[in-house]
């Protein structure tokens, strides 16, 4: 079945450091890939997504590129801020339709803490 | 903006009680989902619904049931709450296929349930 493996946390960085959170996936066909973010005490919000190979999703300074050859979708940011402290989830949607319309398969999440 | 609301942010119940968690979305989305979130396990899908009165089991449906009588409302029911159902419960919705953002799920703020 489909699965997502992401870097175990927690990750602790100083402000303005470079961030990478690794994510690899296993899926049949051509899934869409997502990064969601969960700020403390809140639900998940979509951060960025990519729907086909070589697409780059970007938002709020974060980027991730859909790499089919390595089945990866690593999240990067060049200079993190304290306000980026949150849990980050990588997810895929196989979009098989029918009764399983666009279920998401999530990784376990990576807690990022950014210190001033 | 899509708004997904959940009836309670925090809930404390006793073992054996019947518990109702309500979720409402205001974007006329076809698909609705219930997840539970536990440390180290990420998000796990309990049930989802792709139309009124339609439902499908997710990965961990045991001990839960759902109801979708109206398009905008999706209820999660714990028939007889147990301590191992203490968790954060997240509701999400997504639009029909072949629409913009068809695979993006929009999440509510979550309900933190404690079963004593």
A12-62 pLDDT, tens digit each: 999 999 999 999 999 887 889 999 999 998 899 999 999 889 999 999 999
Mutation target among B31, B41, B42 for the A interface, most CBs of A within 10 A? B42
Of residues A26, A39, A18, the one with CA closest to residue A73: A26
Beta-carbon contacts of B39 under 8 Å, excluding residues fewer than 6 positions away, are none
A93/B contact by beta carbon, under 8 A: yes
Contacts of A51 in chain B (CB under 8 A): 103
pLDDT digits (tens, 9 = 90+) for A50-104: 988 999 999 999 999 999 999 999 999 999 999 999 999 999 987 655 445 568 8
Q: Are strands A110-115 and A11-14 parallel, antiparallel or unpaired?
A: parallel
Q: How far apart (Å, rounded) are the C-alpha atoms in residues B104 and B71?
A: 18
| DSSP 8-state class, residue A67 | B
Q: Cβ of A99 under 8 Å from any chain B Cβ?
A: yes
The DSSP bridge partners found for residue B51 are: B54
């Amino acid at each position: 079945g489909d699965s997502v493996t992401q870097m175990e946390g927690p990750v602790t960085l100083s402000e303005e450091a470079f961030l990478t959170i690794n994510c690899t996936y296993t899926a049949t066909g051509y899934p869409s890939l997502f990064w969601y973010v969960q700020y403390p005490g809140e639900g998940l919000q979509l951060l960025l997504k990519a729907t086909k190979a070589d697409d780059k999703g970007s938002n709020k300074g974060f980027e991730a590129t859909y790499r089919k050859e390595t089945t990866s979708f690593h999240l990067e940011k060049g200079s993190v801020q304290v306000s980026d402290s949150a849990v980050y989830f990588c997810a895929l949607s196989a979009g098989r339709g029918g009764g399983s319309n666009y279920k998401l398969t999530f990784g376990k999440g990576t807690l990022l803490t950014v210190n001033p | 903006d899509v708004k997904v609301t959940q009836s309670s942010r925090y809930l404390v119940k006793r073992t054996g009680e019947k518990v109702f968690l309500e979720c409402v979305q205001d974007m006329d989305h076809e698909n609705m989902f219930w997840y539970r979130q536990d440390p180290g396990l990420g998000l796990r899908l309990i049930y989802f619904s792709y139309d009124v009165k339609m439902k499908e089991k997710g990965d961990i449906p045991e001990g839960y049931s759902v109801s979708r009588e109206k398009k905008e409302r999706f209820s999660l029911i714990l028939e007889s709450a147990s301590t191992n159902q203490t968790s954060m419960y997240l509701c999400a919705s997504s639009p029909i296929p072949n629409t913009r953002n068809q695979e993006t799920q929009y999440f509510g703020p979550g309900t933190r349930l404690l079963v004593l």
